[in-house]
C-alpha cells in the first residue's frame, strides 16, 4: 500500500497545530514585554522632565523659604516666589502638573539642608513611580 493513512495525516496536523500554538505564544510574550518596556520608558521620561524643571528653578533660586517632606517654597533671583509639591499621585509646580496624568507617583519627598559659609543650601529629591526611582541633590548657586 502506497500513500498516507488517515492516522498519519492527523498526527502531522497535530504536530503543526502544537508548533503554531507555541510560536504564537512566543510572539505574544514578546509583544507583552515590549509594551512593558515602553511604559517604563514613558515613566522614566516623565520623572526626568519633572526633576529637570525642579533642578533648573532651584539652582537659580536666591533662597528656599520653606521646606517640608512634601513641598518646597523658594524665591527666585528676581524676588518672585514659587513652589514644588508632591500632591497625591503627581508632582506639581505651583498649581500645574509636572508629571503626566498617565503615570502615578507612588513616593515623593523633599529634604533641605541649610547653607553655611562654605557650603550652599541643598535640596534633595526622591521620586518613585512604578519600578522607576530618581534621587538627586540640588545645590543652590546663590549662598
pLDDT per residue rounded down to tens, the chain (143 residues): 677 788 889 999 999 999 999 999 988 888 877 777 788 889 999 999 999 999 999 998 888 889 999 999 999 888 889 999 998 889 999 878 999 888 899 999 999 988 888 888 899 999 999 888 999 999 988 64
Q: Which strands make up the sheet holding 96-97, listed edge to edge?
A: 61-67, 71-76, 81-87, 90-93, 96-97
Q: Are 71 and 86 in contact (CB under 8 A)?
A: yes
Q: Is residue 77 part of a domain?
A: yes
Q: Which domain holds residue 104?
A: 6-139
Q: Is residue 1 part of a domain?
A: no
User: What total number of domains does the chain contain?
Assistant: 1
74's grid cell? 523658594
pLDDT reported for residue 19: 94
pLDDT reported for residue 1: 60
Amino acid at each position: 500500500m502506497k500513500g498516507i493513512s488517515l492516522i498519519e495525516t492527523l498526527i502531522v496536523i497535530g504536530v503543526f497545530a502544537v508548533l503554531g500554538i507555541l510560536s504564537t505564544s512566543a510572539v505574544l510574550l514578546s509583544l507583552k514585554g515590549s509594551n512593558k518596556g515602553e511604559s517604563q520608558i514613558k515613566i522614566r521620561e516623565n520623572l526626568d522632565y519633572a526633576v529637570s524643571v525642579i533642578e533648573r528653578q532651584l539652582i537659580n533660586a536666591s533662597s528656599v523659604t520653606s521646606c517640608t517632606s512634601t513641598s518646597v517654597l523658594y524665591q527666585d533671583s528676581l524676588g518672585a516666589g514659587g513652589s514644588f509639591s508632591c500632591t497625591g499621585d503627581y508632582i506639581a509646580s505651583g498649581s500645574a502638573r509636572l508629571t503626566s496624568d498617565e503615570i502615578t507617583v507612588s513616593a515623593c519627598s523633599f529634604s533641605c539642608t541649610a547653607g553655611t559659609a562654605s557650603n550652599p543650601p541643598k535640596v534633595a529629591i526622591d521620586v518613585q513611580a512604578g519600578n522607576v526611582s530618581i534621587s538627586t541633590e540640588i545645590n543652590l548657586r546663590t549662598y
